[in-house]
Each structure stands twice: as C-alpha cells, then as structure tokens.
C-alpha cells in the first residue's frame, strides 16, 4: 500500500469488540422475552449508527421503549465492555506505529458513539496515533452512505484516490470503494461468512495485522 492517508474503522478492524456487539441486541431482545434467530437482522444493522439501529429494533419488535431508551440501555452495557474487556487485535499497535513512522496520517471513522470510542482507545493507549475520530452520528448517516468517509478525507486534506479505508464490514467496503477510496478488507471472525466477498470487493486484504506490519516495514 502506497497511501499516505488512512481511515480506519474501529470495531472489528482495530479492536476485538464484535463478539460483544453481536450479542448485544440479541441479549436485549431476549431480556424483553423475544426469542428467535436474529442473524439476518444483525447483518442489516451492522453498519448503522446506534440510534439508527435502535429505531429498527423499536419498529421491528413493537417495543414499548423509545429509541432513546433502547440506546441508553445498549450504550450502558457496551460502555462496561469498552472500559474493561475489549482489546486490540494482535499486531494493530505495531502496524499503526509503523504507518505513522512512515509519515502516514491516520484517523478513525466509526459507527460507534464517540464517548465509547474514547474510553476504549484511551485505555488501550492508541488515541494519540490518530489525528481525529469521526463518528457517523456526527455526520448523520451510517456507512451505507459515503458521507463520513468523504468528510474524513476532507479533514485529512486528501482525496478519496489518495486515501486508504480499512474496514471489516462488506457494506462499508462497498460504500468506500464506490466513492473512489482505496479499500483494504480486514478479517474479523464475526464477518467470516462475507470474507470472500470482502476480498473480491477490496483492493487489498488484511487477514493478519502482523503480516501487514512485516510487509510495510
């Protein structure tokens, strides 16, 4: 990769959080006495912002809670995981430090709420490696639209063609690719069923961060 501007997703790309997110909505629905197989629903809301996902949960299951109340409960549970449990994927720190040493400018674009992102990255000690963190909530659209990626490129002072986007979600990769960005698919076990399609979609595949570090060093 020869790009000097890099946009990183966080969940499933830099940090190993998807198992927690994968259970979150299911556990919430089960706690409301709603059992079932929600795998298709989880795929639909994967790249949505949390407020967007809460609207879907409210509508699909006719929940008595407001979307704001659902979001508050989900955020409370996830904040605990970000504060205590979620770790970096192996090789991530070395890769980020290598890219920075080579003069690359790094940022994060995430569908996760900024307070959760900050508490996680500060605990993991990598916050200072990024010039800024942009939440999809800030731009008002999820990663099924290019707005957040384009805004990040604007803030970096780059064009899509000059900028690499690292993502584990197929829809986000498609969005970035269609907007003209160089795309790198990052493997995450939670998205194993779409990995081959991610590889076909992206310009580059990152199965293992440690291998990327060796390649870039």
Strand order in the sheet with 204-206: 133-135, 105-110, 5-8, 163-167, 182-186, 204-206
How much is the pLDDT for 197? 96
The radius of gyration computed from the CA coordinates of the chain, to the nearest angstrom, equals: 17
pLDDT one digit per residue (tens) for the chain, 217 residues: 789 999 999 999 999 998 888 788 888 898 889 988 888 888 788 778 788 889 999 999 999 999 999 999 988 988 999 999 999 999 999 999 999 999 999 999 999 989 999 999 999 999 999 999 999 989 989 899 999 999 999 999 999 999 999 999 999 999 999 999 999 999 999 888 899 999 999 999 999 898 776 666 5
How much is the pLDDT for 2? 84
Give yes or no for a contact between 7 and 143, defined as CB atoms under 8 angstroms apart: no
How much is the pLDDT for 212? 74
In whole angstroms, what is the distance from residue 113 CA to residue 71 CA? 10
How much is the pLDDT for 124? 96
Within a 10 A sphere around the Cβ of 145, how many other Cβ atoms? 15
pTM above 0.75, yes or no: yes
Q: Which of 64, 71, 30, 69 is nearest to 48 (CA)?
A: 71
133-135 and 204-206 beta bridge pairing: unpaired
């Amino acid at each position: 990769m020869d790009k000097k501007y890099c946009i990183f997703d966080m969940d499933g790309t830099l940090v190993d959080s998807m198992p927690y997110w994968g259970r979150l909505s299911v556990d919430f629905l089960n706690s409301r006495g709603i059992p079932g197989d929600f795998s298709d629903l989880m795929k639909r809301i994967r790249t949505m912002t949390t407020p967007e996902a809460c609207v879907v949960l409210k509508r699909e299951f006719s929940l008595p809670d407001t979307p704001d109340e659902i979001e508050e409960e989900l955020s409370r549970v996830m904040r605990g995981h970000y504060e205590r449990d979620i770790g970096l994927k192996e090789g991530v720190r070395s890769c980020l430090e290598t890219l920075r040493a080579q003069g690359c400018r790094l940022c994060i674009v995430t569908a996760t709420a900024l307070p959760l992102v900050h508490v996680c990255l500060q605990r993991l000690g990598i916050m200072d490696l990024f010039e800024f963190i942009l939440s999809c909530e800030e731009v008002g659209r999820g990663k099924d639209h290019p707005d957040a990626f384009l805004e990040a490129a604007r803030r970096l002072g780059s064009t899509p063609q000059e900028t690499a986007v690292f993502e584990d979600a197929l829809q986000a990769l498609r969005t970035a690719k269609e907007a003209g960005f160089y795309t790198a698919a990052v493997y995450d076990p939670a998205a194993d069923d779409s990995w081959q399609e991610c590889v076909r979609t992206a310009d580059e595949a990152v199965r293992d961060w440690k291998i990327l570090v060796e390649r870039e060093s």
